[in-house]
Structure 1
Amino acid sequence: MTAFTNSSESNMYVYESPDALTYSLLKGPAFTPPTGLIRDPSVIKHTDGYYWIVYTTNWTGNTIGFARSKDRTNWSFVANHTLPTPGLARTWAPEWFVDPANGSVNVVVSLDTANNSIFRPHLLTATNASLRNWSVPRAISGLDRANYIDTFIVRHAGKYHAVTKQETTKYLEYATADKLAGPYTFVGTGDWAGWGSWREGPALVRLDNGGWRIYFDGYAEKKYYYSDSLDGLRTWTPIRQLPGLTGSARHFTVLKESLR
């Protein structure tokens, strides 16, 4: 798990867990970028053998940041990537999505292109294996309604499933599509899953039993929650407070892997 904390937006902390529930600190701070912030760090294990993070570099601006590590504890800054989008004022909450359908490496990021704090999800695709070059950001069809941020996408049963925060109502809403770039259709809006409002930073991970776990930040309460689905993302268990990290870790992403 990679996260920033309530006490620091400029340092990344790394945690690990044997059961996707009980997390302990592996290293913290584990990485501090040369400039700016490191909010919303999202993590993958790339085909080059490195762990990669992508993160929010600042409250305003047109860049996302990248760093990598061989061992999850020692990280090196790679670059800040400038998004060539006219009028881009805020570039928030980038999330990795490696498409199991074709192996493409993508970043889903929330963009404010009118300097009015209204966000829409956009998609970038890596154009080489070094992750140094990226496509021009393109709005994700169906999710490009006004004021959706913190979009997290997974692929399940041949479809793309997106959980995204409606910034006006503060609910996490749910949409599906046949293609990564959309068009997405919303199938869960408002308090559709019973998670309540003032939620953000959703992250999903596949469980050993074949189900899915979603984590999200109850930021107004300074609590972190999780909920499980055992029927293909259709229904979810009542939310539970995540032990240990509540009040400290913020907007994290979880990578499932075997270290044996």
Structure 2
Amino acid sequence: MRYVFTAFTNGSESNMYVYESADATDFTLLHGPAYEPPTGLVRDPSVTRHGGRWFVAHTTGWETGNFALAVSDDLIQWRHHTTVEVGVGWVRNTWAPEFFRDPATGRQHVVVSLSTGSYGPFRPHLFTAEDDELTRWSGPVELAGIGPNHIDTFLVHHGGEYHAFAKNETDKVVEHAVAPALTGPYRFVDTGDFAGWGRVEGPALTVLPDGRHRIYLDGYTTSRYVYSDSADLRTWSPPRELPGGLSGSVRHGSVFREE
């Protein structure tokens, strides 16, 4: 088992770094800078494995109507794969794309935070891959019930429900919603600073070797990168800083568990 972590850093939002770990705690640098996209921005890189290759979805700019994918065969050499246009005129910002493979259908999705004005308000929207190469995407489809101003939405399927962890951009805390179907309607079950994480963003979840979930969070106001564990997605351990010098360096990334 291996955990792969992709992130940008405080030093550069144009370079992606790739880390690996056997236990989801102690990460070492695999390669970095590993990728600099043609757009110049690689913020919020979300990593997944699909069809024997590695893919990263990332934010391309502060005010754009698209997000982009990069691809790699070995996590070392990366290249631009495709740019996905949102295709609707009201979008001012297209931020924080997050991969999600639906276990009910096996289909690959990306959840993207879209805004109707300049830098907000944000709502999560779903894009769906229409081919195995991940070059054609349909969307956007709004995730009903998450709003009116939530960003950085990360999805998990657990206990027969879809769980969404999203940053309340008004209150600057990560909240938790559930739904019976992928596109909703979602209802919030944990709001405010319910887990004691404080002002954080960029939630990313993975499954630990013992079956518990771990959430990683970017403490962007404190220069800390923390993690917290849960057996039920409702009760969480106190946050701890990611060791090895990563806390204070890495920013808003994601972790993928490779079996």
The residue aligned with 2:177 is 175
Q: 1:162–1:175: 8 Å Cα contact kept in structure 2?
A: yes
| Distance of 2:94 and 2:214 partners within structure 1 | 27
Bigger relative contact order, structure 1 or 2 (CA pairs below 8 A, ≥6 apart) = 2
Amino acid at match of 2:31: K
Q: 2:54–2:71: 8 Å Cα contact kept in structure 1?
A: yes
Provide structure 2 residue ranges, at least 5 long, that are not aligned to the other structure: none
State how 1:126-145 maps to structure 2 within 5 Å: 126-143=129-146, 145=147
| Distance of 2:166 and 2:89 partners within structure 1 | 24
Task: Report the CA distance between 1:36 and its aligned residue.
Answer: 2.6
Q: Does 1:17 align with 2:18?
A: no
Q: 2:201–2:252: 8 Å Cα contact kept in structure 1?
A: yes
Task: Report the CA distance between 1:165 and its aligned residue.
Answer: 0.0
Task: Report the CA distance between 1:137 and its aligned residue.
Answer: 0.2
The residue aligned with 2:189 is 187
Amino acid at match of 1:237: S
Task: Encode CA deviations 1:24-74: one digit per residue, 9 max, x unaligned.
Answer: 11000001112230000001100x211001000001110101111111111
Q: 2:126–2:142: 8 Å Cα contact kept in structure 1?
A: yes
The residue aligned with 1:217 is 218
Amino acid at match of 1:56: T
Amino acid at match of 2:140: P
Q: Does 1:235 align with 2:235?
A: yes
The residue aligned with 1:41 is 45
Amino acid at match of 1:215: Y
The range that moved more, 109-118 or 125-134, is 109-118
- Identity of matched residues, %: 53
The residue aligned with 1:122 is 125
Task: Encode CA deviations 1:97-142: one digit per residue, 9 max, x unaligned.
Answer: 0011110110000001233521111111111111111112011101
| Distance of 1:109 and 1:11 partners within structure 2 | 20
Amino acid at match of 2:177: A
The TM-score normalised by the length of structure 2 is 0.96
The range that moved more, 113-122 or 11-20, is 113-122
Amino acid at match of 1:33: P
The residue aligned with 1:153 is 155
Q: 1:87–1:115: 8 Å Cα contact kept in structure 2?
A: no
After the TM superposition, which parts of structure 1 deviate over 4 Å for at least 4 consecutive aligned residues?
A: none
Amino acid at match of 1:17: S
The residue aligned with 2:74 is 71
| Distance of 1:23 and 1:166 partners within structure 2 | 28
2:9 to 5, 8, 24: 5
